[in-house]
Amino acid sequence: MKKPSLDTYLYSAAGVVAMLLIAIAVNVIAARAKVRVDLTAERAYTLSPGTRAILKKLDTPVTIRFYATRNDNSVPAPLKAYAQRVDDLLGEFRQASNGQIEIQRLNPAPDSDAEDSARLDGVTPQPLRDGERLYLGLSVSLLDQKETIPFLSPNRERLLEYDLARAVSRVLTTEKPVVGVMSSLPVAGMKMPPGMSFGPQRGGEPAWVFYSELERDFTVKQVELTADAIADDIKVLLVIHPKGIAEATQFALDQFILRGGKLIAFIDPTAVLDRNAAQRGGMMPAASSSTLDKLLPAWGLAMDATKVVADANYTSRTRQGRSATILSLTERALNRDDLLTAEGDTLLMGLAGAITGKPADGLKMVTLIRSSPNSQLVDAQMAQMSGEETAANLAPTGVEYALAVRLSGKFKTAFPNGKPGKA
């Protein structure tokens, strides 16, 4: 049986953040493609190219059991209509798979064989006001592999294609895809050498939550900040606060991107979670900035590591009072048309930098998170010391600063003269 490539799995509209599943996961993993729902009068769905690529590779039958309560008297009309839209999308999946997907439609009436099957598949009923129970879920199975969506919530309709295609991908994949993580922060936790101990458990520090979540769906490989090459089996690489990254490592990232690798980079003018910098702080906290100074200009972008965004619309309350640089972002700051941010409600970003510039020829930029027009750039060092003063003296520029973007297209090397240090 042929398997879809890792690149297809991670970057279809069905595919990226599973990684930032996270929300970084997805988050991150459906990053390049959008879930597209064609809300025409016919309520027809248009599958994304990534989903079609997955389905066309099927050469072994996959069974999808779709459980939907069809009691006309008890099912609310909106849920009934949504169930039909799910059914329509499943039909699109079957057609795109050249018949390799078999759809079984079951009505789990009380005390029926279909209800027993739903329970065995892990599909859970939802209570209705009249005391009846509603089933609206599905299971995807291939041989001994099974993935279940216990309840297809209408609130996730924008992500429906992603959820379905991800379930199909998972039953096809017997080995976890490989994701690389490079960071100057202890995101994978810290273990103490024998004979030494500290912390509440005297065993070091646990991995960060997002890292543990990644390990549930992926094989996670740590990549050193001094690496001069990225392993071939890594198709997605998270670079998190690459403080002090060497030119040779940026060359490795450059070559990784040129060969088709997907880079998710978190750069920061002031990393509030950098404990080493905080411990050296004194009266004025030590700077802890990171950037990709060789790569960003080649992409047409920039981030001033001495400035952070202050926003009057998204101020937060801290122990020291108001802070216009600790941004309590609402859904208005998030791109509602993109899979990664479509379902977001609120997001807290502290001392965030602004991404400026115009993408280089051949590249397309999509802004995922932005400030409001009531914002300005302020000195990063002073922002750490004077939250109230910054908020009081804020002078909005009318600019909506980009806080997170996605670049896609044809990248050109940032090192036209070859590897640094080589003639």
* β pairing state of 301-302 and 356-357: antiparallel
How large is the average pLDDT for residues 97-116?
Answer: 94
Q: Which of 69-78, 164-173, 197-206, 384-393 has the lowest mean pLDDT?
A: 197-206
Q: What average pLDDT does the chain have?
A: 82
Query: Which segments within 7-123 are labelled E, that is strand?
Result: 19-20, 26, 62-68, 101-106
Structural element, H or E, at residue 404: strand 402-409
Q: Which of 242-246, 336-340, 352-356 has the lowest mean pLDDT?
A: 336-340
Q: First CA to last CA across the chain, in angstroms? A: 47
Residue 109 has pLDDT above 60, yes or no: yes
The percentage of residues in the chain with a pLDDT greater than 90, rounded to a whole number, is: 53
Half-sphere exposure (CA, 13 Å, Cβ side) for 355? Answer: 25
Q: By CB neighbour count within 10 A (0-12 exposed, 13-18 middle, 19+ buried), where does 271 fall?
A: buried
Query: Distance (Å, rounded) from C-alpha 270 to C-alpha 286?
Result: 9
Which pLDDT does position 275 carry in this prediction? Answer: 65
Residue 302 has pLDDT above 80, yes or no: yes
CA 402 vs CA 102, 302, 315, 348, 375: distances in Å = 44, 11, 17, 15, 11
On whether the CB atoms of residues 122 and 148 are closer than 8 A, the answer is yes
* β pairing state of 136-142 and 133-134: unpaired
Give pTM, 2 decimals: 0.70
Express each pLDDT in 10-60 by its tens digit. 333 333 333 344 333 333 333 333 333 343 333 345 788 778 888 988 889
Express each pLDDT in 356-406 by its tens digit. 999 999 999 999 999 999 999 998 888 877 667 777 788 999 999 999 999
Which pLDDT does position 203 carry in this prediction? Answer: 52
Express each pLDDT in 229-278 by its tens digit. 999 999 899 999 999 999 999 999 999 999 999 999 999 998 888 866 55
Task: Give yes or no for a cis peptide into 239 (omega within 30° of 0).
Answer: no
